[in-house]
Structures are given as C-alpha cells and as structure tokens.
Amino acid sequence: MRLALGIRYNGQAYEGWQSQRSGRTVQDKLESALGKFADRPISTLCAGRTDAGVHGLMQVIHFDTDIARETISWVRGTNRFLPPDIAVQWAQPVPDAFHCRASALARRYLYVLSQSPVRPSLDAGRVGWSMYPLDGDSMRVAAALLIGQHDFSSFRASACQARSPVKDVRRIAITRHGEGDRCRWHFEFEADAFLHHMIRNLMGCLVRIGRGDAPPEWIAEVLAARSRKVAAPTFSAAGLYFRGPQYDAQWGLPPEATLGHAGAPYDGPP
C-alpha cells in the first residue's frame, strides 16, 4: 500500500528537509517517528525539499508499506513520536502510480516579511525583515514581469540540481497588512516548480525594488541576463513557507492539496 501524508513544521531548529548525517533534518525526525510507530524502517519521498530555516505549511510525502492501520492511526501514532514543531496533518492511501513529486502540477510558497524600524523578536525566525519602508506598487509591477515561462538562471543557486532553469511562474501576489512604518507583507508564489533558492533570490530583488534602490524594470534585465551575478543577494530563509504542492483531484487527496484550492491557511505571526 502506498500512503501520502501531509506534514507541517517549523523549520528553525532543522538543517532543512533532506536527511543529513547529523540527523537534524525534518526528514530524519519524520522517518524516525514513522519507524517507531510502524516498528520497522520507513523511507519517504517529499514533494519539495526545503532549506535550513524554511517552514512547511503542507509538505506532502509518500511511502510504501505492508502495514494495515487506520489512516487516523498513522496521523496520531506518528505524531506521538515527533517533536512539537513537526506534525502530520493527514494521511491518505493513494494508487501506486501516485508520486508526491512527479504527480504535482504546481507548487506554492509564501514569504512573510516584517517592515519595522527594529528587528523581529517574538517572531524571530518566522518572518523576514526590512527596516526600510517598501513600495507595494513598484514590487507588483516588477512581479508582473516574472509571470510566464522563463529561464530563471539569474535566480538559481550554484548548487541547484534541476535539469532545466526554465520554469512557469503562474502567480505572484503581494499584499500589505497594517499601516504606518510597522506592517507585514505577504508574497505568494505559484509555479510548476522552483529552482534552488529561487524564491529567496526573487525576494532579494523585489525588496531592492520596494526600497527604491532599483526601478521595477530592472528585474526584467536581471531575468534576461541569465546570470546570478547581476541579481540581488539571497534573502533570509526566516520568512519562507512552503505552502505545498497541488495535484489532480483523481488522486483523492484532501482539498487543500488539490489544484486550484486556496491551500492551507497561514497561522504564523499576524
């Protein structure tokens, strides 16, 4: 039987998703918990690897097992062995043809940015930060220039293992929450897939434009250059949340994992 699980986690304490020798990754903690619940080793695959410090609102994983348990038991039983900052949200049997990564039709990220004269404290590690006021209209004009299928080499980390830098960005929404010199910005990204550090590199450029250090049209020049050297520095991982993949309804996954659904709600800092 193949099972798919939806996972939420706070990434502050971990060295990213993918298993490392240190054992301090989300995958290591999850597989350890699954192994204790199932009383045998379980190896998992995920929909999208996240970097150190990046959070997951709905990571989707799958694995194969011959153990027959109620789906709710996979949720509650695994959570019993997980640390407080990682929790299984749902479990769902899926056909053998389902693959959490290859079957995904889209992926979504959210970046939460605090605009404030002073750095974050209570929500440190859960939001990015700009001490300078940002111009939302300029950032939205720039974001619109990124929509569509492009070569995103300028926003690709040197360690990226993707076969192609061409990705189809379908949506970037930028909203402000609050007034004055203290507010929150939400940056929502949706694409068929993303390159390593792509969101954080896009954020670096958008924030530079929002501060008035470059015009909105500059981001089109960066895109056309296909060179990481011309883009802004990689932005902090602190405010980045993987909202999760989206799949065709045929797989029978929960609504928040179905293409076109608004997705899991963000319940971080207001």
Neighbouring CB atoms inside 10 A of 184's CB total: 19
Q: How far is CA 263 from the centre of its chain?
A: 12
> Coil, strand or helix: which one is 117?
coil
* Amino acid code (one letter) for 264: A
**Residues tagged active-site:** 51
Q: Which helix (H) or strand (E) holds 31?
A: helix 26-38
> Coil, strand or helix: which one is 45?
strand
49: closest CA among 197, 256, 261? 197
* Amino acid code (one letter) for 134: L
- What is d(CA 220, CA 208) in angstroms, rounded to the nearest whole number? 14
CB of 234 within 8 A of CB of 108? no
